[in-house]
Amino acid sequence: MGLFRRAAVCVIATVLVILFEVIFWDMSIELASTKVESLSHFRPNYTDALSKTILFFEGQRSGKLPPDQRMNWRSDSAIDDGQSIGVDLSGGYYDAGDNVKFGFPLAYTTTLLAWSTLEFSHMMGDEAKNAHAAIRWGTDYLLKASSQIDDNILHVQVGDTYSDHSCWQRPEDMDTLRTVATITASKPGSEVAAETAAALAASSLIFKSLDRDYSQLLLNRAIQVFEFADKYRGSYNDSVGYFACPFYCDFAGYLDELLWGALWLYKATGNEKYWNYVSTNLEWIEYDNPGEFGWDDKHAGIYVLIFKKLIQEDPSNHSIQKASTFSCLIMPESPNRIVEYSPGGLIYKSATNMQNVASLSFLLLVFSRYLESSSRTVRCGEITIQPSRLVQVARSQADYILGKNPQNMSYMTGYGDRFPQRVHHRGSSLPSVRSMPEKILCNGPESIQMKTKPNPNILVGAIVGGPNLTDVYTDDRDFFVQTEPTTYVNAPMVGVFAYFSHLQKNV
Ligand SMILES: *[C@@H]1O[C@H](CO)[C@@H](O)[C@H](O)[C@H]1NC(C)=O
Ligand SMILES: *[C@@H]1O[C@H](CO)[C@@H](O)[C@H](O)[C@H]1NC(C)=O
Ligand SMILES: *[C@@H]1O[C@H](CO)[C@@H](O)[C@H](O)[C@H]1NC(C)=O
Ligand SMILES: *[C@@H]1O[C@H](CO)[C@@H](O)[C@H](O)[C@H]1NC(C)=O
Ligand SMILES: *[C@@H]1O[C@H](CO)[C@@H](O)[C@H](O)[C@H]1NC(C)=O
């Protein structure tokens, strides 16, 4: 099944009343019409949530699995990826419930895992090493995908989406087409290349103190891939075509990724030439801020990173306001709010919604910390919002995911007592190769037998697409907008859960 993204947003008519709670651990959100009982005994275990959020990535691994693989119902898969073109492209992550390796969201996932870890690794305890492994599984693959960058070649996808989506089959048995999509100087893809550069650069910062050679390798490659992205401009929509789009079309254009890539390169190299690139070209994204942040749209992430730099060096510069403007589009009490909130308090932007919840929560949390350390607040119209309020909203989203919602249900698989049973995920929904070593054919009898049954293998940590605007969730595997997990939902939640787990340990 596919993933698609709708940007349509309409403004909620309901008047929101927010109850500011003195006690941080017991927040409830009240809307004019619906009161959500504050579950006073709701005590999420954020440490558990953090470790499961990271563990999920092991379930998405492609390629030869290492001896320390913990998600042990999975086995090696797609180890011949790339062989058809004479390149080793094994490894990396399946993006979601299918078995395709989409380069654009894979790179974004890696960037966000690295950003989560950069901000919060000191709050992760023992989980930091698992976060590093999750990043490295992404970067090892991105290094392979970019191994021919000297010749202006970047591999941006493995797996024919149409062939893959027509088959309900475990990745271990896959016999669908593993076609490789590639961008070149004459068939460019600046968004996917610049996001790949961002991922490599951000990750190089993680490994700087852990493995210097590896870090240097990532950084050198990031520089080359960015140069390629910038020099040969164009969208992979056009170069790769139907293969990647309509699944991961670049709706927001590639200029945001060029700025984003340059910003991460600036952070990783300290080279002013990258900052100058951002500074001179910032006008590229001067149009109305859409209040989006995700694999397609980096605007808000750019504004938050720029805030951090300008607040120290050029605090009177107007570009500082961009991050506040963004948060005013999100905060419930803001007169400029454009996102909706469900009666139960969930941020709602579009179908396959949890990706918005996760990346916006992460960004609010990171921004709150940048505000806090510069003693700033956010001004939305007549309202002044404190950094702690941004934290509170991020926490309300984390809690909603973990079960503080009208369904009393955790939307993270394997967390809590009640969680989705029919996650839209091929491997998780079919018997494991450990219990059934015989090959399961494409749409074989097993897939029909299992159609409505609970998943036999728990994809621990998978956060699903989530409920609709009225907090209703349908545990139906075919309803993929609600039941499918993706790597780019979990990546920012790694940072969010790390922060709250640290706070919980220190109350
Ligand atoms: C939270 O979860 C962690 C990891 O699963 C566990 O070790 C810990 O005991 C749990 N804490 C509480 C208070 O239940
Ligand atoms: C990519 O394709 C989508 C869908 O056709 C289109 O809306 C979008 O404008 C395209 N993006 C670019 C940068 O060409
Ligand atoms: C503010 O900073 C941005 C980013 O560096 C830069 O593009 C812009 O020219 C600056 N504006 C002023 C008025 O200095
Ligand atoms: C959720 O829990 C609350 C409080 O315990 C209860 O009032 C409500 O009926 C429960 N809702 C569902 C759908 O189980
Ligand atoms: C949410 O799903 C339920 C059950 O299908 C439906 O009754 C309700 O209208 C949906 N809400 C929205 C806003 O679509």
Cβ(504) – ligand 1 distance below 6 Å: no
Question: For residue 462, what pLDDT is reported?
Answer: 98
Q: What is the pLDDT of residues 231-257, one digit of tens each?
A: 999 999 999 988 889 999 999 999 999
Is 333 an annotated catalytic residue? no
For residue 353, is pLDDT > 80?
yes
How many Å lie between the centroid of ligand 2 and the Cα of residue 7? 13
Tokens encoding 478: 């075919």
Mean per-residue pLDDT over the chain, rounded: 91
Q: Are 449 and 70 in contact (CB under 8 A)?
A: no
Is 484 an annotated catalytic residue? yes
pTM, 2 dp: 0.93
Q: What is the pLDDT of residues 128-183, one digit of tens each?
A: 999 999 999 999 999 999 999 999 999 999 999 999 999 999 999 999 999 999 99
Q: Which atom of ligand 5 is nearest to the CA of 471?
A: 1
Collapsing DSSP to helix, strand or coil, 463 comes out as strand
Rounded Cα–Cα distance for residues 439 and 94 (Å): 20
| Ligand nearest the Cα atom of residue 321 | 3
Q: What is the pLDDT of residues 422-478, one digit of tens each?
A: 999 999 999 999 999 999 999 889 888 998 999 999 999 999 999 999 999 999 999
The residue from 30, 333, 475, 502 that is catalytic is 475
For residue 493, is pLDDT > 60?
yes
**For residues 32-56, average pLDDT:** 75
Residue nearest atom 4 of ligand 3, based on CA coordinates: 279
| Ligand nearest the Cα atom of residue 472 | 5
Residue nearest atom 10 of ligand 3, based on CA coordinates: 317
Query: CA dist 221 to 145, 226, 231, Å?
Result: 11, 8, 15
How many Å lie between the centroid of ligand 1 and the Cα of residue 44? 10
Cβ(470) – ligand 5 distance below 6 Å: yes
For residue 19, is pLDDT > 50?
no
CA dihedral 199, 156, 127, 116 (to 10 degrees): 40
For residue 1, is pLDDT > 70?
no
CA angle, 269 then 305 then 185, to 5°: 60
Residue nearest atom 4 of ligand 2, based on CA coordinates: 249
Q: What are phi and psi of 378, to 5 degrees?
A: -110, 140
**For residues 366-391, average pLDDT:** 97
Ligand 3 pocket residues where CB is under 6 Å: 279, 282, 310, 314, 317, 319
| Ligand nearest the Cα atom of residue 307 | 3
Sequence ranges of the domains in the chain? 3-505
Cβ(503) – ligand 5 distance below 6 Å: no
Fold assignment, 3-505: Glycosyltransferase (1.50.10)
Rounded Cα–Cα distance for residues 55 and 262 (Å): 30
Among 34, 37, 408, which residue has the most ligand 4 atoms within 8 Å of its CB, making it the best to mutate? Answer: 408
Among 346, 352, 470, which residue has the most ligand 5 atoms within 8 Å of its CB, making it the best to mutate? Answer: 470
For residue 23, is pLDDT > 50?
no
| Partners of residue 412 on adjacent β-strands | 463
Q: What is the pLDDT of residues 288-301, one digit of tens each?
A: 667 889 999 999 99
How many Å lie between the centroid of ligand 2 and the Cα of residue 256? 14
The residue from 424, 425, 446, 471 that is catalytic is 424
Q: Which atom of ligand 3 is nearest to the CA of 282?
A: 7
**For residues 215-230, average pLDDT:** 99
Q: What is the pLDDT of residues 56-93, one digit of tens each?
A: 999 999 999 999 999 999 999 999 999 999 999 999 99
Q: What is the pLDDT of residues 150-165, one digit of tens each?
A: 999 999 999 999 999 9
For residue 7, is pLDDT > 50?
no
Cβ(501) – ligand 1 distance below 6 Å: no
Each residue of 468-492: b (16+ CB within 10 Å) or e?
Answer: bbebebebebeebbbbbbbbbbbbb
Q: Would you place residue 117 in the very low, low, confident or very high pLDDT band (cuts 50, 70, 90)?
A: very high
CA dihedral 180, 181, 185, 188 (to 10 degrees): -160
Other Cβ atoms within 10 Å of 194 Cβ, number: 29
Cβ(47) – ligand 1 distance below 6 Å: yes
Cβ(399) – ligand 2 distance below 6 Å: no
| Partners of residue 383 on adjacent β-strands | 380
Rounded Cα–Cα distance for residues 322 and 145 (Å): 34
